[in-house]
Amino acid sequence: MTTRRHILALTASSLLLAACAFAPPQGAAQPPIVFVHGNGDSASIWQTTVWRFEANGWPRERLHAIDLPYPLARDDDGKAQPGRTSTTEHMAYLKAEVERVLKATGAKQVVLVGNSRGGNAIRNYIQNGGGERTVSHAVLGGTPNHGVWAIKGFREGNEFAGTGPFLTSLNAPKNAAGDEVAGPVQWMTIRSDNNDKFAQPDGLWIGAKGTPTNVTYEGPALKGANNVVLPRVDHRETSFSPAAFDATWRFITGRSPVTVSAPVQAPVVLNGKITGLGLSPTDPASGNYANNLPLPGAQLAVYATDPATGERKGAAVHGKTVGADGLWGPFTAQAGVPYEFVISAPGYATTHIYRSPFPRSSELIHLRAERIAAADKDAKSIVTFTRPRGYFDAQRDRMSFDGKALPGVPPAGAGVSSAKIKLMEDGVRAIPAEFNGEKITGRTWPVSDNRVVVLELTY
């Protein structure tokens, strides 16, 4: 299926050589990049990727991440579903954003970089929306290009069905060689060797353990594209890992990046949007669905915290009642200082979000107000440890939550990006979490006061 396959292994020595041998492109040669998030995600998912581009000299004003208002795909693409988007709506939103960016920058073309479902919109736009003229490079990380499943007669109306009309049309041969992509756009896919939950031969992650999906580990690869394989990365790390950035930078520029990290750069000015959750219109009892709509009237207070105890170090260092745009900043943070973000909004629990220190400025620090699930209301405290830009892999990662293994994380495979602890003890105390060296310590605020706690990883 692949035309060219690479296994990338990043080592300190290779990065040193890259730093010595190459310089980043400069000035007008740097096209605008539009980042397209995946199913249920938001623009904030690209925070660390944007940092890495900036650290290698890409101008911040040429890095754009879209926020699809309703980021979840429909169950059946051809049937309207409140709070969800069709492939046509998704593509139209991307098309409008590309046109906005081209007008704002004066550029003739953009680079499109998508994760998961974002790659579906990119392919649809290039094939059916005029993107073959406005896009120079397309990078698809973990996009299920041949479906999450490919089972005749099974949910074929869904956009993730490999035998359904949407993917069948996108994958139709474009030339005599049978290529699934066509020029003049330059294409690259990035996939895991075997650790992507949505490119598995067994149906475990779609709730059908033991049933063949008819999709292989190579599902995200496309004939005619430059197909890159990264060992052991998970579904999201196909886009958000240092190795994925390295591959993307090389593909766009033809050079090695100087760094794949995000070096500290002061001052650190933060901003972002406060969003909420929609109740399912068809079944309110089923809980919440993600959206990226602003939450006007929400109140935010930001506190510097002690890294060892999570306790606040004095009064709030920033506060705001957000307006119609949902923006909660700007806030000038101190490098090396962890923070607690406290959101209060009618209809939501008071949400305490603890974050490790921010090394650089970002306008993508989006914050979501949460609700307490009915099943959790018997607890004294609810704490969720979450990794937005990747999954937890018990065989690969060094991690702990309140000094123990992460609950709900399977012994093998990377398929879970959050873990929740329901504490049945009274009182407020420190609760630490660690993932591959990144440490966060929060406090156990009481459910009885309608409060929830989130420990959110950056990397």
What does the pLDDT read at residue 290?
84
What is residue 289's predicted lDDT score, i.e. its pLDDT? Answer: 81
CA distance 431 to 344: 22
The pTM assigned to this predicted structure is 0.93
Mean pLDDT per 10-residue interval, the chain, length 459 residues: 38 33 50 98 98 98 97 97 96 98 97 98 98 98 98 96 98 97 96 98 91 97 98 98 98 98 96 88 59 97 98 98 98 96 97 98 98 95 98 98 97 95 96 98 98 98
In three-state form (DSSP H/G/I as H, E/B as E, the rest C), the secondary structure along the chain is CCCCEEECCCCHHHHHHHHHHCCCCCHHHCCCEEEECCCCCCHHHHHHHHHHHHHCCCCHHHEEECCCCCCCECCCCCCCCCCCECHHHHHHHHHHHHHHHHHHHCCCCEEEEEECHHHHHHHHHHHHCCHHHHEEEEEEECCCCCCCECCCCCCCCCCCECCCHHHHHHCCCCCCCCCCCCCCCEEEEEEECCCCCCCCCEEHHHCEEEEECCCCCCCCCCCCCEEEEECCCCCCHHHHCHHHHHHHHHHHHCCCCCCCCCCCCCCEEECCEEEEEEECCCCHHHCEEEEEEECCCCEEEEEEECCCCCCECCCCCEEEECCCCCECCCEEECCCCCEEEEEECCCCCEEEEEECCCCCCECCCCEECCCCCHHHCCCCEEEEEECCCCCECCCCCCEEECCECCCCCCCCCCCECEEEEEECCCCCCEEEEEECCEEEEEECCCHHHCEEEEEECCC
Residue range(s) of every CATH 3.40.50.1820 domain in the chain: 5-253
- The CATH number given to 5-253 is 3.40.50.1820
What is the side-by-side order of every strand in the sheet holding 350-355?
A: 318-321, 299-304, 339-344, 350-355, 451-456, 381-386, 418-423
The reported pLDDT for the residue numbered 12 is 33
